[in-house]
């Protein structure tokens, strides 16, 4: 019989755009013995988590809870619950995750209208507003921060345009939630999907979402009670039900409401982790947390620039939590990443599709977003590039970052 060794993962400095390092308090939370899913102590923790998510999303929405799956499970739960086959869905695409929205919407049977911007740029919001008035879609699905390209999309006027044509505005804030302001109510976002493994620094496996009464109204039109749970005389909707049981928001909200109507078995330890991650966010304070992310980004960018590296993407729309670096001509990007991991224990990321082999991506997210990590990645990258024969400006990167930090001897 094959034997399997004790778990003993190496300690890494994780500077990718997720998953990032997890705060020890969150790791500890996951090691607590579990409670049953309907234990009043556990449902109280669920309710507290909903309250904290409302603060995180800066919303008064009633509904704010995690979907039990990785980030894209939250995207799919929202889309499959509001899109009926034949609905028109407008998707502005400026990177990989806009494409994911199309991918999911098409599988929901939507007629997708795509807008495209070159990777590394974002849309002038006015262009999207015009498209909304022209196309009159049922749903507009947009990415707030594109981790694939390191760009941040502004929303000026888009929420109001959606209201005026009665479209629902769905926003992927997986990369931005907890690191960059996401003003759900102020921006008139109808549904927002966050991620745990990025700026919240909780392991992957849950996707916190929030949605308002406009989305809920749509959800309730197709609501059913699950077979095997129905009591005699339960109403059955004559609308075509949501194509997924697992992702049916009508059922999920019954489970997260005081009704506690059984659906899945809530992922206990992940809920403990999310709750602790949210406590850390609220203890730090949202504004202080956003400022911290900008500060370490500034240090990283100063260091990379001083080293002589070229950044990828339009600086005017740079996502503060992801910095993309053009891989120098003739350098094997994967060899550099391998050396960083194997010799320094530092992980940075590559990218996808058209950017594969073209850029590296460094995340400054959540618990990984701290001075020691930024200084270490700069020093290690300089040494690794030198080892690969790249003519970097030696000795400057870490000094430039220390300048940003105002480091005194």
Q: Pick out residues in 327-386 that bind its own copies (CB under 8 A).
A: 341, 347, 352-353, 356
| Distance of closest approach, residue 166 Cβ to its own copies, in angstroms | 26
Among 58, 62, 121, 269, binds its own copies (CB under 8 A): 269
Within 157-216, the residues that bind its own copies by CB under 8 A are 197, 203-205
Q: According to the annotation, is 361 in a ligand binding site?
A: yes
Within 26-65, the residues that bind its own copies by CB under 8 A are 27-37, 39-42, 45, 48, 51-52
| Distance of closest approach, residue 262 Cβ to its own copies, in angstroms | 7
Within 209-268, the residues that bind its own copies by CB under 8 A are 226-231, 241-247, 262-268
d(CA 256, CA 266): 10
Select from 13-21, 134-142, 287-295, 301-309 the region that touches its own copies (CB under 8 A): 13-21
CA-derived radius of gyration, the chain: 22
Strands 13-14 and 346-347, how do they pair? parallel
CB of 58 or CB of 269, closer to its own copies = 269
Within 64-103, the residues that bind its own copies by CB under 8 A are 68-73, 76, 80, 95-100, 102-103
Binding string, 130-149, against its own copies, x = CB under 8 A? ------------------x-
* Strand spans (E) along 68-179: 88-93, 111-116, 139-143, 145-146, 151-152, 168-173
Structure tokens belonging to residue 327: 């891989």
CB of 74 within 8 A of CB of 193? yes
CB of 32 within 8 A of CB of 272? yes
Q: Per rule CB under 8 A, is residue 288 in the interface with its own copies? A: no
Peptide bond into 310 cis (omega under 30): no
CB of 38 or CB of 133, closer to its own copies = 38
Strands 191-194 and 207-211, how do they pair? antiparallel
> Considering only CA atoms, which of 369, 350, 367 is closest in space to residue 148?
350
d(CA 72, CA 206): 9
Task: Tell me how many residues contact its own copies (CB under 8 A).
Answer: 92
CB of 236 or CB of 316, closer to its own copies = 236
Exposure of 296 in the CB half-sphere (CA atoms within 13 A)? 27
CB of 75 or CB of 162, closer to its own copies = 75
Structure tokens belonging to residue 149: 């390209």
CB of 73 or CB of 212, closer to its own copies = 73
CB of 50 or CB of 129, closer to its own copies = 50
d(CA 271, CA 253): 16
Annotated binding-site residues for substrate read: 361
- Which residue ranges make up the annotated binding site? 361
């Amino acid at each position: 019989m094959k034997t399997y060794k004790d778990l003993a993962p190496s300690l890494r400095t994780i500077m990718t755009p997720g998953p990032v390092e997890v705060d020890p308090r969150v790791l500890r939370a996951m090691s607590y013995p579990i409670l049953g899913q309907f234990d009043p102590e556990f449902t109280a923790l669920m309710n507290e988590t909903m309250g904290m998510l409302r603060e995180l999303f800066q919303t008064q929405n009633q509904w704010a809870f995690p979907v039990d799956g990785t980030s894209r499970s939250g995207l799919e739960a929202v889309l499959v619950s509001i899109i009926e086959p034949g609905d028109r869905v407008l998707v502005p695409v400026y990177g990989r995750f806009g494409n994911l929205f199309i991918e999911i919407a098409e599988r929901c049977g939507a007629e997708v209208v795509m807008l495209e911007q070159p990777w590394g740029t974002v849309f002038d919001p006015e262009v999207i507003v015009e498209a909304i008035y022209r196309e009159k879609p049922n749903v507009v699905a947009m990415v707030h921060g594109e981790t694939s390209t390191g760009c941040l999309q502004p929303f000026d006027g888009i929420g109001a345009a959606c209201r005026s044509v009665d479209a629902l505005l769905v926003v992927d804030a997986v990369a931005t939630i907890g690191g960059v302001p996401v003003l759900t109510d102020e921006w008139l976002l109808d549904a927002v999907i966050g991620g745990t493994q990025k700026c919240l620094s909780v392991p992957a496996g849950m996707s916190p979402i929030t949605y308002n009464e406009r989305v809920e109204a749509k959800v309730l039109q197709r609501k059913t009670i699950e077979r095997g749970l129905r009591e005699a005389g339960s109403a059955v909707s004559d609308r075509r039900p949501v194509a997924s049981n697992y992702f049916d928001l009508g059922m999920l909200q019954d489970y997260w409401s005081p009704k506690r109507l059984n659906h899945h078995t809530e992922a206990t330890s992940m809920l403990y982790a999310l709750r602790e991650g949210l406590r850390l966010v609220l203890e730090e304070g949202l504004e202080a947390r956003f400022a911290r992310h900008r500060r370490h980004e500034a240090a990283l960018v100063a260091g990379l620039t001083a080293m002589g590296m070229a950044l990828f993407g339009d600086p005017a729309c740079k996502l503060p939590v992801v910095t993309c670096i053009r891989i120098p001509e003739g350098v094997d990007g994967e060899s550099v990443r391998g050396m960083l991991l194997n010799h320094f224990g530092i992980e940075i990321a590559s990218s996808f599709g058209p950017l594969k082999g073209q850029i590296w991506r460094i995340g400054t997210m959540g618990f990984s977003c701290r001075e020691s990590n930024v200084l270490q990645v700069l020093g290690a990258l300089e040494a690794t590039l030198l080892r690969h024969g790249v003519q970097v400006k030696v000795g400057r990167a870490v000094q430039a970052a220390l300048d940003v930090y105002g480091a005194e001897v």
